[in-house]
Amino acid sequence: MIKFVLMVNQQGQTRLSRYYEPVELSRRAALEADAVRCCLSRKKDQCSFVEYKDFKLVYRQYAALIIVVGVSDGENELSIYELIHNFVEVLDKHFSRVIMFNLDSIHIILDEMIQNGHIVETNKNRILAPLTAINKMVEG
């Protein structure tokens, strides 16, 4: 299962975090900083999967943004690696049509894709349908 999704910048500042199992607020910043440090210190010739504590990190860098997904052992790392890319492609599809940015919109999109740590939707049209419908209703 997926334990958490993080989007951080290269300075390690969290831009988005979503947890799928309870982690106390006070522990999150440290966990995020540590996990990101782990990923950022990887060399170019190392793979995108890091064994971290008793689970794994799958990370993928897009320009100055790094997306890190914590997954339990036994998860198909490459499928998560591509899930990250699917997520980015969905964001691309949505934000290329909409000028404004909302932290909430990104969360709403992520919510359509992952629930309870499981991948529940990967069809881009279906992922975006609820948000598009909401925005349409508000504009109209």
Partner 1 sequence: MSDVVEKTLTALPSLLSLDSQPGSAKLSSNSKLGNLIRGITELTSKHEEEKLIQHELSSIKEQVSSPNTTMRQMRELMVRAVYCEMLGYEASFSYIHAIKLAQQGNVLEKRVGYLAVSLFLNENHELLLLLVNTVLKDLQSTNLIEVCMALTVVCQIFPKDMIPAILPIVEEKLNHPKEIIRRKAVLALHKFYLIAPNQVQHIHNKFRKALCDKDPGVMTASLHIYLQLIQENAEAYKDLTASFVTILKQVVGGKLPMDFNYHSVPAPWLQIQLLRILSLLGKNDQRTSEVMYEVLDESLRRAEMNHNITYAILYECVKCVYTIHPKSELLEKAATCIGNFVLSPKINLKYLGDSTDFSHRGRCDDSTSTNIMT
User: Residue numbers of the site for partner 1 (CB under 8 A)?
Assistant: 7, 9, 11, 13-18, 22, 25-26, 28-29, 45-49, 62-65, 76-79, 81-83, 86, 88-89, 91-92, 95-96, 99-104, 107-108, 111-112, 115-116, 118-126, 129-130, 133-135, 137-138
Q: Which DSSP state fits 48?
A: S
Question: Least distance (Å) from partner 1 to the CB of residue 41?
Answer: 16
Angstrom distance (rounded) from CA 129 to CA 57:
30
Output the smallest distance, CB 122 to partner 1, in A. Answer: 5
Q: Which residues of 63-99 are buried (b: 16+ CB within 10 A; e: fewer)?
A: eeebbbbbbeeebebeebbebbebbeebbeebeeeee
Question: In whole angstroms, how close is the CB of 59 to partner 1 at the nearest point?
Answer: 11
Nearer to partner 1, 53 or 83 (CB): 83
Using DSSP's 3-state secondary structure scheme, residue 86 falls into helix
